[in-house]
Amino acid sequence: MTKSQALQSNLDVDYVISYRFAKTADKSRAIAQFEKLCEAIAHVGLQTEVRNGDSHSVLLFVRVASDEHLYGEVYRSRVRDWIHGVRAAAPPKETREALEAEPLYEAERLRIIYQLITNPSSEGGAAITPKEGEWEGVESIFALHDHAYNKDWIKKWTSSYFLKTEDLDDIRNRLGEKIAFYFAFTQSYFTFLMFPAAFGLFSWLVLGYFSPIYGVVSAVWCTVFTEYWRHQETDLAVRWGVRGVSKIDVRHRDFAPEKTVTDPVTGEKVGFFPSSKRFQRQLLQVPFALTVVVCLGTVIATCFGIEVFISEVYNGPLKSVLVFIPTGILTTVNPILTTILTQFATRLTQFENYETQSAYDTALTRKIFVMNFILSYLGIFLTAFVYVPFGTIIVPYLDVFNVAVRPFAEDEKQLHHTSTSSWSINPDRLRKQVIYFTVTAQLVNLGMELIVPYLKRRGFAWFKKMQSERAAKNGTASASIAANDPPEDAAFLERVRKEAELDVYDVNTDIREMVLQFGYLSLFSVVWPLTAVSFLINDWFELRADAMKICVEMRRPTPWRADTIGPWLDSLTFLTWLGSLTTSTLVYMFHNSNKGPDGNPSNIQLWALLLTVFFAEHLFIILRITIRHVISKIDSPGLQKERRERFMVRQQYFEENLNSLNKLPTLSGSGEEINRKSLEEDARESSLRATTPESRFWSRQRDWKESAAVAKSLIEKAHFASSPESKKEL
């Protein structure tokens, strides 16, 4: 098999399980554990093949033993969906028929097999949990890339300006709904960006910076986009048949019940953890948030202070070198702090002890959003709302840094120059900072996403090459891993070993990146209206780069289902709302001079500022209600499809039940006149026989004709009677 052939075919392999035994000191335990693994896998109906992996690992290839087996599993999964309300109608009971009507797509197949491997045995899975508990040796479970498809995908995308819904369907079929939702979101965002990009350009040319008109348009756009996406998300979920999957409760693996209670609903014994206790634990989020603000805030504010001092106040020696100090601190301290805080957030979320996976994810995402919010926006907030208005008051205090600088001073005179008396704030600082975050940082980020994994991969390959060369020199066997391969599988196995070394793709990181980008637009784009232009260009590449990243830099991701981008939607809503506050404040402060209050807070009329913000916020809230209302009226193919399906099901039920209904006597319907009449007759006759007041009351008139006749006489009499009276009254 040649190398290109190896890339063409996956040899029917569904999943590869990489088992690393180096960590297990005891050889026999490793062997026993692997035997257990093979048995567990075979037990759920999967076929196995073992090949040699990289140093100290074994690769277990897995495929479904027979299609009939898989179909049963697919049917079970679909019935479960139907019962949870994800599907409107139950799947046909004949499996073959069901699969013909609705063919299995690749992501569904891979998801089902993955669940078969990892689900607990109570749910019919093999309960293999990578890197956890007894399966610590299982390093990863991954599917193999479909290189032919990937090549086509990248080629198609890099040669087209827009992605169509079919392209998204394609991703969904291959990589699952969760990743497809990320691409759909980014594509929607990209399309929507065209308007603010165009208007931003116009605004930049005609209206200038800090234009209130731009501010209003931008706020409207952000709201429309957020609400449109909320609508679009539902539509896509229906299109992909996953609406409601987020409501299927998947138990969180680490959930530790406090006690066992009998579920009042199902009557089963279930683990129980009181919400009140969880709420108490959730209150720890407040000190956590404060810690995050203080830790990250201190670092950022200190660096900000040093930077302002060095670049604007200080003009002693080594200025050109010292300028890089804050960047140095930020790039070293921040990642460390972030890692520590993320670990802390994870621990805290685990401590909060959520029962379901989705609740856990939501809670963790919220915490991560808070951290990223501070990391991304605090710098600009400091410039806009501290440096510019309070600069002249605060900057003199930055002289404390003089102490640190003193050793470098060549003579006293230089230090004297650093006095802040002649200092005035740098009016361009805010704009430069926004441009840095919206252009430079985005580009750097995009580059990093592609280049860092590439370098990592290269470095790793080089290291291994060196190692094996040395080993070859020493004549040890570890160099001969590939040499032991059957020659016809060699190329294929080499490829698999490479894929096993790749990183795991986390779609949340990419969504987060987009949401934070949206934040710059919503919060600060009034500072520099070209923001959207930069994002538009960036995101065109971002979409393609992410596709490439998934294909080349990452292991093939396990396809998961989702019906939303999750709690990030709340983050979007929050950022839009906060944007109404920041935009109005910025417009108020900077609109006249383009320079802001020149570091002197007395230049701001606080009441006018607050009044502006107050009105802006409430107008925004009204606007959002209106836009949400209008968008909710938009009908979409997805929603129509859902309604149609539900209608069909309802109609079917109705017909089934109406059959039995028709046997019941009906009250209406003209065909049963006689029957009804005879019934009335019966009722009347039985009444006559009895002598209760009721029966006497109801027995006076035989049927409706008699009633009408009585009424006729009454009306005639009344008319007769009233006529003379009315005459008299005249």
Torsion angle, alpha carbons of 170, 174, 178, 184, to 10: -20
Angle among Cα 634, 638, 643 to the nearest 5 degrees reads: 90
In terms of CB distance, is 251 or 456 closer to its own copies?
251
In terms of CB distance, is 22 or 336 closer to its own copies?
22
| Closest distance of CB 133 from its own copies, Å | 20
Find out whether 377 and 519 touch, Cβ atoms under 8 Å. Answer: yes
**Residue/partner pairs of 652-661 with CB below 8 Å, 24 or more apart:** 652/89
Helix locations, 203-324, DSSP H: 212-239, 275-282, 285-308, 319-322
For residue 259, which phi and psi values (nearest 5 degrees)?
Answer: -150, 170
Tell me the torsion sign for CA atoms 383, 385, 391, 393: negative
| Closest distance of CB 224 from its own copies, Å | 15
| Closest distance of CB 730 from its own copies, Å | 13
In terms of CB distance, is 245 or 548 closer to its own copies?
245
| Closest distance of CB 203 from its own copies, Å | 28
| Closest distance of CB 220 from its own copies, Å | 16
In terms of CB distance, is 13 or 201 closer to its own copies?
13
Find out whether 516 and 186 touch, Cβ atoms under 8 Å. Answer: no
Helix (H, G, I), strand (E, B) or coil at 15: strand
In terms of CB distance, is 285 or 302 closer to its own copies?
285
| Closest distance of CB 40 from its own copies, Å | 9
Torsion angle, alpha carbons of 591, 593, 594, 597, to 10: -90
Residue with tokens 């998801």: 111
Find out whether 1 and 488 touch, Cβ atoms under 8 Å. Answer: yes
| Closest distance of CB 48 from its own copies, Å | 4
| Closest distance of CB 615 from its own copies, Å | 11
In terms of CB distance, is 1 or 443 closer to its own copies?
1
In terms of CB distance, is 283 or 336 closer to its own copies?
283
CB 617: neighbour CB atoms within 10 A? 14
In the 3-class helix/strand/coil scheme, how is 596-641 assigned residue by residue?
CCCCCHHHCCHHHHHHHHHHHHHHHHHHHHHHHHHHHHCCCHHHHH
Classify strands 269-272 and 259-262 as parallel, antiparallel or unpaired: antiparallel
In terms of CB distance, is 161 or 697 closer to its own copies?
697
Sheet strand arrangement including 15-20: 46-52, 57-64, 15-20, 138-142
108: nearest Cα among 506, 642, 558? 558
Give Cα separations from 111 to 143, 357, 544 (angstroms): 10, 17, 25
| Closest distance of CB 360 from its own copies, Å | 16
In terms of CB distance, is 417 or 696 closer to its own copies?
696
In terms of CB distance, is 133 or 671 closer to its own copies?
671
| Closest distance of CB 92 from its own copies, Å | 10
| Closest distance of CB 549 from its own copies, Å | 29
Find out whether 35 and 58 touch, Cβ atoms under 8 Å. Answer: no
Find out whether 597 and 389 touch, Cβ atoms under 8 Å. Answer: yes
In terms of CB distance, is 33 or 564 closer to its own copies?
33
Give Cα separations from 604 to 212, 402, 421, 518, 609 (angstroms): 17, 31, 22, 29, 7
503 DSSP assignment: B
